[in-house]
Amino acid sequence: MGARGIIGAGSALAVTVAALVASAAPTPAVDIQVFQFQPGAVEVRAGTAVTWTNRDDIEHTVTSGDPEHHGGRFDLSLPGRGTTKTVTFSEPGVYPYFCDRHPSMRGEIRVNSTNESTNERKER
């Protein structure tokens, strides 16, 4: 195999590894702990699933919108420690949410279009 074959094989391997790493990206996660969503804001690309995990012993909800205006997009009940729920965000936009049982608990999911990178947003 000549030098071109080795370079070609190396390039193909690099592309394959990059694709595997991208597909193995962890699901963004929000912990519910001590009456807080942690982190309070998450930024993802359209089509990404976000998982909430209740780390408290009591029930919490993840309800879209705010206490005065329920968004109607999702309303998840997490009855106690260790329960998880996941929502996939298909459309770009900003999705505020709160706990219906504890309205001071609030968070936000910011969804970018699939062809817009986080760096491009920050540079604007």
**Amino acid sitting at position 114:** T
- The structure's pTM equals 0.74
In 10 A of CB 44, how many CB atoms? Answer: 17
pLDDT value at residue 2: 56
- In angstroms, the Cα distances linking 1 to 4, 14, 15, 121 are 8, 19, 20, 45
Identify the structural domains of the chain with CATH numbers, from first to last: 27-123 (2.60.40.420)
**pLDDT in the model for residue 114:** 81
Note the pLDDT of residue 1. Answer: 53
Residue 63: Cβ-neighbour burial (10 angstroms; 0-12, 13-18, 19+): buried
pLDDT in tens, the chain (124 residues): 555 544 444 444 333 333 334 445 688 999 999 999 999 999 999 999 999 999 999 999 999 999 999 999 999 999 999 999 999 999 999 999 999 999 999 999 999 998 764 444 444 4
Per-residue confidence (pLDDT) for residue 88, from 0 to 100: 98
CA separation for the pair 115, 10 (Å, rounded): 27
Closest CA to 77 of 58, 92, 94: 58
Q: What is the pLDDT of residue 113?
A: 94
Given this model, what pLDDT does residue 26 score? 81
